[in-house]
Amino acid sequence: MKTKNSAALFSQACQVIPGGVNSPVRACKSVGCDPLFVAKAQGCTITDADGNEFIDFVGSWGPMILGHGHPEVIKAICETAPHGTSFGAPTALEVELAELVCDSVPSMEKVRFVSSGTEATMSAVRLARGYTGRKVIVKFDGCYHGHADSFLVKAGSGVITLGIPGSPGVPEDIVKNTLSIPYNNIEILEKTLRDASLDIACVIIEPVAGNMGVIVPELAFLRKLRELTAELGIVLIFDEVITGFRLALGGAQERFGILPDLTCLGKIIGGGLPVGAYGGKKAIMDLVSPVGPVYQAGTLSGNPLAMAAGLAMLKVVRRPGFYEELEEKSSWFAEKLAAIGAAAPVPTVLNRIGSMMTCFFTDAPVTDFVSAMKSNTEHYGQHFRQMLASGIWLAPSQFEAAFVSAAHDRTHLQKALDATVASLTKLAAA
């Protein structure tokens, strides 16, 4: 595989951008190589700066559920741009997308658009604190909610990948109001939430964890979380930045039939442009300024290009049969993958729900942060490099999801399965 152009771009980038990347997970450090620079992508194919082509299972870390360059999304962007790219005043597109979001996501009555998932989660937490008049937030070990100060406690995604316990630059004063407890553990959950001395404003959770690799919660755990928070007047926030419009039109909350008070969205909702959103019950959302006193604002919020792209994307996923087809394809793929893993010379565990999955290099079930961390990241790194060499683009970290998109067909998926067999065999030989 030629990497001359990517290597040259990377060394140039390192001079002017920290680590040569604008988001740390892109750096590929944990898998023992340098990043490939992308030239273009179409459907499920991504092409790097040296002209190498790969089948993409990263999908820009979640947004590209239709694959890259979907004609309806591109058309919407191209038709919107000539009318102006930002006004700092409301537009019809925002209203239309807000109506579509509230109609799709069962617990959302009102929604506020922002420009990233991080902005959505930090704003939702501020709102929960404003609404309850309490201070403490509870999160779960290995869940990632963006890079705002209060979430960088036992966080997932790049924070695990790079082995950072918290982050310098985040004052003790801030993190002392964040409690992180184990995912899927009902006993610790109940004990923590019932401790009245804690002054808990909200619990924020990924209703399916995607940032320590995919971990599907036990239904009893999620139900208990809903029951307890309702009983104790604690705001329950579902961070559906990955799962929203991924697991169902109405996200994990629709799939599990459990409704949070507030929901955070991102990734898919922007059709590949920068968008986030938070929303929920009117009684809580009407505390947001200018109706209420909880301040939150954004110069580019509700940006017309991003709204147009998001609208086009949502219109496609709302068509009858979209999620059924994606589920059918993903379950076919995952069953084959699990069988390959089971026959492999090194132990693997496949976790999957819908079109998101992670193959962990470990021999025991992965149900929380501690069990995820038992994975053999050396094996993953080698597997990553071998898959890349066979034309399969996986996330450069064990602790991330692989996504199947509407653009993957059986031929693409079969190629990935064949590459997996070859790679796992070589792992054992090493």
Ligand X SMILES: *Cc1c(COP(=O)(O)O)cnc(C)c1O
Residue pair 266/232 in contact by the 8 Å Cβ criterion = no
C-alpha span between 396 and 192 (Å, rounded): 35
Select 146 or 280, whichever has its Cβ closest to ligand X. 146
C-alpha span between 301 and 112 (Å, rounded): 9
Instruction: Look up residue 124 and give its two tokens.
Output: 């939702």
Of the residues 144, 183, 278, 380, which is catalytic? 144
- Which of 122, 134, 264 is closest to 207 using CA atoms? 264
- Which secondary structure element, helix H or strand E, spans residue 371, and what is its range? helix 369-372
Select 250 or 266, whichever has its Cβ closest to ligand X. 266
Residue pair 390/383 in contact by the 8 Å Cβ criterion = no
> Residue 112 CB, nearest distance to ligand X (Å)?
15
Residue pair 98/111 in contact by the 8 Å Cβ criterion = yes
> Residue 207 CB, nearest distance to ligand X (Å)?
9
In the list 20, 146, 158, 279, the residue contacting ligand X (rule: CB under 6 A) is: 146
Of the residues 154, 267, 329, 368, which is catalytic? 267
Select 49 or 399, whichever has its Cβ closest to ligand X. 399
Interface with ligand X, residue 239, by CB under 6 A: yes
DSSP letters, 51-98, are S-EEEESSGGGTT-TT-BT-HHHHHHHHHHGGG-S--SS--HHHHHHH
In the list 10, 37, 131, 144, the residue contacting ligand X (rule: CB under 6 A) is: 144
Is 415 a known active-site residue? no
> Residue 339 CB, nearest distance to ligand X (Å)?
29
Selected range binding ligand X among 48-56, 104-112, 143-151, 326-334, rule: CB under 6 A: 143-151
100: DSSP letter: H
Is 261 a known active-site residue? no
Selected range binding ligand X among 25-33, 51-59, 236-244, 306-314, rule: CB under 6 A: 236-244
Q: Which residues contact 58 (CB under 8 A, 6 or more apart)?
A: 393, 394, 395, 400, 402, 403
> Residue 58 CB, nearest distance to ligand X (Å)?
12
Q: What is the dihedral of CA 394, 396, 397, 399, to 10 degrees?
A: -50
Instruction: Look up residue 415 and give its two tokens.
Output: 């190629």
C-alpha span between 228 and 221 (Å, rounded): 11
In the list 110, 126, 129, 145, the residue contacting ligand X (rule: CB under 6 A) is: 145
Half-sphere exposure of 19 (CA within 13 A, CB side): 13
Site string for ligand X, 241-280 (x = CB under 6 A): xx-----------------------x---------x----
Instruction: Look up residue 303 and give its two tokens.
Output: 């940006």
> Residue 129 CB, nearest distance to ligand X (Å)?
18
Select 43 or 146, whichever has its Cβ closest to ligand X. 146
Cis peptide before 24 (omega within 30 of 0): no
Selected range binding ligand X among 81-89, 158-166, 204-212, 300-308, rule: CB under 6 A: 204-212
> Residue 308 CB, nearest distance to ligand X (Å)?
19
Is 144 a known active-site residue? yes
Residue pair 31/380 in contact by the 8 Å Cβ criterion = yes
Residue nearest to ligand X (CB): 117
Interface with ligand X, residue 405, by CB under 6 A: no
Selected range binding ligand X among 86-94, 139-147, 338-346, 366-374, rule: CB under 6 A: 139-147
Q: Which of residues 292-321 bind ligand X (CB under 6 A)?
A: none
Q: Which of helix, strand or coil describes residue 263?
A: strand
> Residue 28 CB, nearest distance to ligand X (Å)?
18
Find the radius of gyration of the CA atoms of the chain.
21
Q: Which of residues 103-122 bind ligand X (CB under 6 A)?
A: 116-118, 121
Q: Which residues contact 385 (CB under 8 A, 6 or more apart)?
A: 31, 32, 33
Selected range binding ligand X among 235-243, 248-256, 300-308, 352-360, rule: CB under 6 A: 235-243
- Which secondary structure element, helix H or strand E, spans residue 333, and what is its range? helix 322-343
Select 144 or 361, whichever has its Cβ closest to ligand X. 144
C-alpha span between 96 and 318 (Å, rounded): 14
Instruction: List phi, psi (to 5°) of 415.
Output: -60, -40
In the list 211, 253, 263, 355, the residue contacting ligand X (rule: CB under 6 A) is: 211
In the list 206, 254, 368, 400, the residue contacting ligand X (rule: CB under 6 A) is: 206
Select 125 or 387, whichever has its Cβ closest to ligand X. 125
Select 116 or 405, whichever has its Cβ closest to ligand X. 116
Residues with a known catalytic role: 144, 239, 267
Binding interface with ligand X (CB under 6 A): 116-118, 121, 144-146, 206, 210-211, 239, 241-242, 266, 276
